[in-house]
Amino acid sequence: MKGFLLLISIMGSFSIAAQRSIHGQLLHQLTAEPVAGATIIAGSGGTVISDQQGKFSINTGADSIIVTAVGFEKKTILLDNREHLLILLQPSQKKWMPWWYRVPCGP
């Protein structure tokens, strides 16, 4: 029984040690303006939103993060061993159009 409890405590310490803090900033690829309000998803580490300067911080043990923002292409970033990231987001090629522009009017 003691051996089993020791194994569980060792396994728990490895999972805690695997967590790390990732810091970054999101910028518009063409204008270098910060991208505020983007969503950063990191596996079991959860989800955060970038601030007004495009900066974010997230704790995760994942190998990658996914970044999404309205008007930009979705981007998957492999973390490797990096903890500080500068991410350039490419504007979406899709033209966004409000639903009322697509509603046919008239005959």
Contact assessment for residue 53 and residue 25, using Cβ atoms and an 8 Å cutoff: yes
Would you state the pLDDT for residue 31?
95
What domain range is 62 assigned to?
A: 17-92
The answer to whether residue 59 sits within a structural domain is yes
Whole-prediction pTM:
0.71
> What string of DSSP letters covers 56-86?
EEEEE--SEEEEE-TTB--EEEE-TT--EEE
The answer to whether residue 74 sits within a structural domain is yes
Check which CATH number belongs to the domain holding 25 and give it: 2.60.40.1120
Would you state the pLDDT for residue 27?
97
The answer to whether residue 104 sits within a structural domain is no
11-57: pLDDT as tens digits: 444 445 478 999 999 999 999 999 999 999 998 778 999 999 999 99
Would you state the pLDDT for residue 93?
84
Would you state the pLDDT for residue 17?
44
Would you state the pLDDT for residue 28?
97
Q: Report the domain count for the chain.
A: 1
